[in-house]
Amino acid sequence: MHTEQRARAHELLRSRSIDRALFAAPASVTWLTGFAPPIQTGANPFAGGPPLVWYESGEFTLIVMDWFSSQAVPVINYPGYTYESPIASADHLAAIVRSLVGRSRAGTLGVEARHLPAFLAPSDAVSIDGLLDPLRAVKTADEIETLRRCFALADAGHAAAREATRAGKREIDVWAVIQSAISRAAGQRVPLGNDCVVSRRENNIGGWPGDFELRPGDSLIVDLGARLNGYWSDSCAVYYASEPSDRQRATHNVVRQALEYAISLIKPGAVANEVDRKVRQFIADAGYPVYPHHTGHSVGVSPHEEPRLTPYNTLLLQPGMVVMLEPGSYIPGEIAVRLEDAVLVTADGAEVLTRHNKGLP
């Protein structure tokens, strides 16, 4: 489990002459080990710090409180919740890190300093922030299977959202139906992003669902990302509270064409910022406002990662990359359309991974 990830990481660390390392970024920990702690209610109040991964002599060890275990790697547990004595989990965790770091002075020690809490930071370490990130851009076969399941969950959410969207409902009412459908489909609680906003809002590009009520003539952006086993999906659709106006329909169709055009551009060797530029141009050429955000990005152990399809990014697409494509067009307070699919870069093109209805026709 996640052996390919650890092999890639080991090779990179060796090439950089990093002999020992302490990983603290949630994405790194999940990617290296498959360990994905619950996140819905914030940091665990009984843990001494975030889950960590220690790397030494080519081996990876997970350091977590005693509620948690791993099928993939050796684990060092420390006491978390206690009631017969005060909770001292931070002290236990600090002692473990001190002991691991201190048992050798040989070679270079790397730490993810952007996520490692200061009280655990060794004094003689070098930063390895972001070092693993590029390794995550090409997905393993197992990761692609996991992502398919994540996208299927988002699909289930969209089926429920399309059904639930109508005048008189609030954003949060639709969201509650989506969340219920997804958690029941998964058989467990599922962290769920991203946006659920009515077109009549002044900021109608994105945002969390509130008590804003759909009226006839409104549309609803439903941008869903569900996390399962530590991996995120993404997806976006637009549903209508009533029969759409000619203008809504025209905008929706242009964005749909832009999305289809974007999909057609995805293949090995395609350049991220060229795809970005061409899809923007497509919307502009059609005479519609161009979206003030990225054209796309990837997902995985984080909901937004490389490759980013953005004006500055000269990265080349490779087989095994998963790319979200999400062109849109917005007029504040009036029109808001964003449609998003996921594609897998294959040997000679792209396979669409999302199956959700994107609203209209």
Pick the closer one to a copy of itself by CB: 138 or 186.
186
- When binding is defined by CB under 8 A, the residue of 119, 215, 351, 357 that contacts a copy of itself is 119
Q: Please provide the DSSP assignment of 211-227 as one string.
A: SPBP-TT-EEEEEEEEE
Q: Under rule CB under 8 A, which residues in 137-156 are in contact with a copy of itself?
A: none
Q: Is 166 in the site for a copy of itself (CB under 8 A)?
A: no
Closest distance to a copy of itself from the beta carbon of 93 (Å): 9
Is residue 228 within 8 Å of 238, Cβ to Cβ? no
**Pairing, β 219-228 against β 236-240:** antiparallel
Is residue 339 within 8 Å of 253, Cβ to Cβ? no
Rounded Cα–Cα distance for residues 210 and 213 (Å): 9
Binding flags for a copy of itself, 265-304, as an x/- string (CB under 8 A): ---------------------------xxx-------xxx
Closest distance to a copy of itself from the beta carbon of 40 (Å): 5
- When binding is defined by CB under 8 A, the residue of 14, 17, 45, 316 that contacts a copy of itself is 45
**Pairing, β 236-240 against β 335-338:** unpaired
Is residue 229 within 8 Å of 190, Cβ to Cβ? no
Stretch that binds a copy of itself, among 6-14, 131-139, 166-174, 235-243 (CB under 8 A): 166-174
- When binding is defined by CB under 8 A, the residue of 56, 66, 133, 173 that contacts a copy of itself is 173
- When binding is defined by CB under 8 A, the residue of 57, 106, 312, 314 that contacts a copy of itself is 312
Pick the closer one to a copy of itself by CB: 315 or 342.
315
Stretch that binds a copy of itself, among 2-10, 98-106, 152-160, 307-315 (CB under 8 A): 307-315
Q: Is 49 in the site for a copy of itself (CB under 8 A)?
A: yes
Residue type, 194: N
Exposure letters 264-289 (e unless 16+ CB within 10 A, then b):
ebbbbebbbbebbebbbebbeebebe
Any long-range contacts for 172-181 (C-beta under 8 Å, 24+ apart)? 172/196, 172/209, 172/210, 172/211, 174/209, 174/214, 174/220, 174/222, 175/209, 178/222, 178/224, 181/156, 181/157
Q: Is 120 in the site for a copy of itself (CB under 8 A)?
A: yes
Is residue 234 within 8 Å of 342, Cβ to Cβ? yes
Pick the closer one to a copy of itself by CB: 220 or 360.
220
Query: What are residue 18's DSSP bridge partners?
Result: 108
Residues near a copy of itself (CB under 8 A) are 26, 38-43, 45-46, 48-49, 83-86, 90, 111, 113-121, 127, 129, 170, 172-173, 175-177, 179-180, 183-184, 186-189, 191-194, 208-211, 225, 227, 292-294, 302-304, 308, 310-313
